Amino acid sequence: MEAYLIEWASLLLRWLHLIVGIAWIGASFYFVWLDNSLRPPEDETLKKKGVAGELWAVHGGGFYNPQKYLVAPATLPRDLHWFKWEAYSTWITGFLLIVVLYYAQAATWMVDPSRPGLTPAAAVAVGLATLAGGWLAYDVLCRLMIERSQVLFGILYYGFVVLMTWLLTQLLPGRAAFLHVGAMLATVMSANVFFWIIPGQKKTIAQMQRGETPDPIHGMRAKQRSVHNNYLTLPVLFCMISNHYAFTYGHPHAWAVLALILLAAVLIRHFFNQRHRGQQQWRYPIAGVVLLMIVAVWLAPTAAVNAASAPVEFARVQQIIAQRCAGCHAEHPTLMPAAPAGVMLDSPARIHALKPRIIAQAVQLKAMPLGNVTGITDDERALLARWGAEKESP
Which pLDDT tens digit goes with each residue over 290-325? Answer: 999 999 999 887 655 554 557 888 889 889 998 989
> Residues 43-65, buried b or exposed e (16+ Cβ, 10 A)?
eeebeeeebebbbeeeeeeeeee
Residue 259 has pLDDT above 70, yes or no: yes
Angle subtended by helix axes 150-171 and 174-192, to nearest 10: 140
Average pLDDT score over residue span 263-278: 90
pTM score of the predicted model: 0.83
Average pLDDT score over residue span 179-194: 96
> How confident is the model at residue 394, as a pLDDT?
47
Average pLDDT score over residue span 102-116: 84
Domain coordinates of the chain in residue numbers? 102-298, 314-389
Cβ of 317: how many Cβ atoms within 10 Å? 21
Strand, helix or coil for residue 62: strand
What does the alpha-carbon distance between residue 265 and residue 242 come to, in Å, rounded to a whole number? Answer: 14
